[in-house]
């Protein structure tokens, strides 16, 4: 049963309200009050009979018995009259109670609306506070952004100034490096030019000195070239004196470099001897070409037979030996051919006085056993 709504005759919740379908539409109430039945009358009578007389058997009499007794006591026409009266009374009662019930329902709805409006007001106030806080936050954020932008702009300006300064310094450094490189290149070229000039001057002086030395050396000559003793078989010694050596020249060095013509061939001295006189030296040559005077020969060979196992002895006298020669050196270097074999010299040499100088060969011979 709804609060504030009396129960109808049939036990329903009383007036029913038509809820609004659109905003602003008011709710309308209508009463659904059905006509009371005989069972309802019997329930309300409890211990009281229909005519006011006590009924001791209420609660145990069945509905059919009550209906039969009513018909017997009242008759059909009176029953219809009572029913119609009750219906009329119920309709009038519903009509008169509808307005207070609607008013109460409306008051309840208005209170609900008031509570909801109060809640909405609180929500609006909270939303307004949040909106204000949000706006203040946006304002602070906007101020912070402006401040950050200002600082960033200031930093960018400062960075741009520093970058411009660094670019200027970089250009200045590049210019200084270029000037330094140009100066170094000029100094290198100047140094290379001076070195080249000095080299050319030095080469020119050296060439002049060389030409001057050549001219001076052309005046150096060998004086008194003459043959001397035979040094060995086919080799004769010659000597000469180096003359006209210019002042400042080393006579021994010039002697070793100065050649002489002997038998149509240029010969360099194998030995230079300082004479102890400034600018003079003696040169010695060993000539082994076309020296017949130093080329003796073996006259004949004598086979002396086997002197030991596998060794045979041969002897021969040396002819055309120069008188001033060292007979031992000449004899030991005079070659010979024995039995188809060539020997550069005898095994030994002996001087037998009036019989002359003899050579002795001990050669291998397989026939000697």
In this predicted model, what pLDDT tens digit does every residue of 109-130 receive, in sequence order? 888 988 898 889 999 999 899 9
Contact of 321 with 327, CB cutoff 8 Å: yes
Predicted confidence at residue 44, as pLDDT, reads: 46
Predicted confidence at residue 21, as pLDDT, reads: 44
Torsion region of 25: left, alpha or beta (phi above 0 gives left; psi -120 to 50 gives alpha): beta
- Residue range 133-154: average pLDDT? 88
75 pLDDT exceeds 80? no
303 pLDDT exceeds 50? yes
Cα separation, 141 vs 199, whole angstroms: 82
36 pLDDT exceeds 60? no
Predicted confidence at residue 219, as pLDDT, reads: 87
Beta-sheet strands, E only, within the chain: 16-18, 28-30, 221-232, 235-243, 260-262, 265-267, 271-274, 281-287, 297-298, 302-308, 311-319, 336-338, 341-343, 348-351, 357-364
- Residue range 41-57: average pLDDT? 42
In this predicted model, what pLDDT tens digit does every residue of 82-97 receive, in sequence order? 788 888 887 777 777 7
Spell out the long-range contacts of 104-108 with Cβ–Cβ below 8 A and sequence spacing 24 or more. Answer: 104/4, 105/4, 105/15, 105/17, 105/27, 105/29, 106/26, 106/27, 108/4
366 pLDDT exceeds 50? yes
- Residue range 324-342: average pLDDT? 90
364 pLDDT exceeds 50? yes
Q: What is the pTM of this model?
A: 0.44
Report residue 36 as tokens.
């009371």
In this predicted model, what pLDDT tens digit does every residue of 255-302 receive, in sequence order? 998 899 998 899 999 999 887 777 788 999 999 888 888 899 999 999
Of 216 and 79, which is predicted with more confidence? 216
């Amino acid at each position: 049963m709804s609060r504030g709504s009396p129960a109808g005759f049939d036990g329903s919740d009383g007036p029913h309200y038509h809820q609004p379908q659109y905003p602003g539409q008011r709710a309308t109430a209508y009463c659904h009050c059905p006509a009371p039945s005989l069972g309802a009358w019997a329930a309300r009578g409890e211990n009281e009979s229909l005519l006011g007389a006590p009924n001791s058997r209420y609660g145990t009499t069945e509905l059919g018995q009550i209906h039969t007794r009513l018909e017997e006591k009242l008759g059909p026409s009176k029953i219809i009259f009572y029913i119609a009266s009750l219906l009329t009374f119920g309709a009038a009662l519903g009509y008169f109670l509808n307005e207070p019930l609607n008013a109460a329902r409306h008051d309840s709805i208005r209170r609900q609306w008031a509570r909801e409006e109060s809640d909405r007001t609180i929500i609006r106030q909270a939303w307004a506070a949040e909106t204000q806080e949000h706006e203040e936050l946006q304002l602070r954020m906007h101020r912070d952004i402006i401040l950050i932008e200002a600082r960033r702009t200031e930093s960018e300006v400062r960075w741009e100034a520093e970058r411009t300064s660094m670019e200027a310094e970089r250009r200045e450094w590049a210019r200084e490096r270029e000037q330094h490189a140009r100066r170094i290149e000029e100094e290198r070229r100047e140094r290379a030019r001076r070195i080249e000039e000095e080299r050319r001057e030095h080469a020119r002086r050296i060439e002049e000195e060389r030409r001057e030395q050549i001219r001076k050396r052309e005046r150096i000559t060998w004086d008194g070239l003459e043959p001397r003793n035979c040094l060995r078989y086919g080799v004769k010694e010659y000597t000469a004196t180096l003359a006209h050596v210019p002042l400042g020249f080393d006579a021994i060095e010039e002697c070793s470099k100065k050649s002489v013509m002997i038998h149509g061939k240029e010969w360099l001295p194998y030995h230079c001897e300082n004479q102890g006189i400034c600018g003079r030296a003696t040169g010695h040559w060993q000539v082994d070409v076309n020296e017949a005077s130093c080329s003796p020969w073996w006259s004949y060979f004598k086979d002396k037979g086997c002197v030991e196992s596998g060794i045979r002895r041969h002897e021969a006298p040396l002819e055309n030996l120069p008188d001033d020669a060292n007979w031992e050196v000449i004899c030991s270097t005079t070659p010979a051919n024995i039995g188809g074999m060539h020997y550069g010299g005898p095994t030994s040499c002996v001087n037998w006085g009036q019989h002359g100088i003899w050579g002795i060969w001990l050669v291998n011979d397989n026939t000697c056993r």
